[in-house]
Amino acid sequence: MAKPARESEVLASSLVNSVTQAFGKLVDLWNEMGISRELQLERMQTAKAHIETLLNEMIEEESNLKEKIENDIEIQKSQLNIVRYELKLDPYQVGDGLSIIQLEKEFRLALEGALKEKQERLTKLKQLQLEEQRLCSELYATPYYIPTGSVPSCLQLEELDKHVQQLLKVKEQRLKEFFKLRGKVRQYNKEIGHTPDGTLESDMLSDEEECICLTKKNLEDLELLVHQLQVKKDSLIASRDALVKEVQVLWDRLQQPQEKQEQLTMLASRCPISEAIKMWEEELENLEVLKKESLKQITFRVRQELHDFWGKCFYSEEQRAAFQPFLSDNFSEELLSQHDEELLRIKEVYEKNKHLYDNVHKWNAIGERLGELEKKSTDPSRLLNRGGTLLKEERERSKLQKQLLKLGEELKKDTEDWEKENNSHFLVNNQRFLDSMALQLQHHKIKKDQPKMSLKRDECGTPKSATKRPAGGVNMPPPSKMRKVNNLLIQQAII
């Protein structure tokens, strides 16, 4: 079976037939016109030459086109390899069996895609670098390195984007810290009445965005400024409190009106600390003038307060007399200063040992009450009272004796600790308290059964003359003997 003719062969055969028919028609026309055979051949030769020229031109044109396409393929292939190399991609591979035109299209489309990707990467790089440059300038940070003039890889763009996001987080954190520190600075300035005294501080406190600097150094400077203002505030507060304390002392000594004191205190509390200090300084100066005019009265008031604290600390007459300025009549600033120093000293002694002194006062109060009850127990007239007084007194006596013993244990321990710590005796009215406490405990132990015995004697009608006893006290033996029996007596009394 014969193969079907190709379309190109059919077209060629049709073209030959068309030329043959055309020449046939030309010959008929020439014969009709009476053109000679020689001229007909000449014209046919011209037509043939024209047809051959046209075909040759077409062949040449198509050959040039083929050559151009092949050149384009090589150029596109070369450019594509360069672009893909810049994009960090492998060389482009094409399939086998493609025609020249198919190859040209394949490389052309591949080159267009590569150029588009390159442009997109460069555009994204520019955007990210602009953002990064702005952030690095604000934060004084190091930019992510990408060689100038190169096309970034996808990984580089991803890392650059992460770097920008990290810088944005850092900026957000520093902005938060900056506003926090700036708020503290403004608050301190308001509280202490401080005015910015430098360009740096003024810029830091400005509300204009261009004045906001988020570098590490600037934040460190701002933290340092906050610390300095805090120290200054603490110092001013200490100075103000010291002034207030001095003023209050003089208010009390000069007996200034309470309304005036409250008014100044309220006004000062509403002012910045520096202004309040000026107000207190002025008040102190005024009070100092009044003090000089009232030295005698003030000294007497300090002496009264000093006398009260001497009593709280159980100072004996000898100890009090040791402060000789107390008896001076030469009233002056120096004399008042000496009294102030002694008052401050005795106050510190009292505050340091307040718990011990308070317990000694309780001890003496219980002892005095027990002495009163012992004195009543020697009065025969108490038997005539039928209101249950004897029973009440006995119950009170029993309760007080228990309190005395319990308090004695606590006092003994605290006093011994005090003496170990201070390496000296704890004195009450210039006598060692442990000695007098031991004797007092022994005294109450000896006397605690006598009221019952006295009651029985009275009931039996055999009254005896009562021995007069000291109220709340005891005849003190020499200190040397007291120290010898101290611990023994305390233990016996407690048992």
pLDDT value for 282: 92
91 three-state secondary structure: coil
Question: What band does 2 get if pLDDT is binned at 50, 70 and 90?
Answer: very low
In sequence order, which ranges of 255-353 are alpha helices (DSSP H)?
A: 258-269, 273-293, 295-312, 317-321, 333-352
- How many whole angstroms separate alpha carbon 161 and alpha carbon 169? 13
Instruction: Return all residues near 160 (Cβ < 8 A) that are at least 6 apart.
Output: 125, 128, 129, 132, 144, 146, 152
Per-residue b or e along 261-293, where b marks 16 or more CB atoms closer than 10 Å to that residue's CB: eeebeeebeeeebbebbebbeebbeebeeebee
What is the per-residue pLDDT across 213-240, written as a single tens digit (0 to 9) for each? 778 888 888 888 889 889 998 998 999 9
pLDDT, residue 483, reads 43
Please name the helix (run of DSSP H) or strand (run of DSSP E) that holds residue 432, with its range, or none.
Answer: strand 431-432
Dihedral sign of CA atoms 272, 277, 280, 285 in order: negative
> Which pLDDT value is given to residue 116?
92
Query: What is the pLDDT, as a whole number, of residue 293?
Result: 75
pLDDT in tens, 131-187: 988 888 888 888 888 888 788 888 888 998 999 999 999 888 988 988 888 888 888
For the chain, give the longest Cα–Cα distance: 203
The mean pLDDT of 310-332, rounded to a whole number, is 87
Q: What pLDDT score does 12 carry?
A: 82
Measure the CA–CA gap between 347 and 337, rounded to whole angstroms.
15
The pLDDT-based confidence of 470 (bands split at 50, 70, 90) is very low
Q: What percent of the chain has pLDDT over 70?
A: 82
Residue 204 banded pLDDT, cuts 50, 70, 90? low
Vertex 288, ends 287 and 289: CA angle to 5°?
90
Q: Residue 211 corresponds to which tokens in the numbers above?
A: 């004045």
Query: Residue 159 and residue 144: Cα distance in Å, rounded?
Result: 8
